Structure 1
């Protein structure tokens, strides 16, 4: 998952499909975490949950970008 775009573009279709499956799972998990922290922050009046929500949101965006790179690498190969 932590490979650069040029490294990802060199992978086989089979490797790209597996990588896509793994990244989509991580992205789904990050979305669930982000949503849980948002709901917890709504019930509690503390900034701690907001910080965790922000971090989970950043991770979600990172995985979203990786999904885009992998999907486009499959189209180009």
Structure 2
């Protein structure tokens, strides 16, 4: 099973932003930003992730980390 980790915490630290500041800048609710920052998820809302990506001005590779069983790829 694959999960996605949105690297919110790391990117906020790089910009010296709080999770609340990211929420205000992106228009994504604080509870969603916090959830994405604290846990890997089985599903993410692509509209939300796109808004976070645009706010950070980063690449998909910088924002997302796919975690899971690599044997599925064989």
| TM-score interval for Structure 1 and Structure 2 normalised by the shorter chain | under 0.3
Larger fraction in helix: 1
Larger fraction in strand: 2
**TM-score when normalising by structure 1:** 0.26
Determine which structure has greater relative contact order: mean sequence separation of CA pairs < 8 Å that are 6+ residues apart, divided by chain length.
Answer: 2
**TM-score when normalising by structure 2:** 0.26
Q: Which has the larger radius of gyration?
A: 1
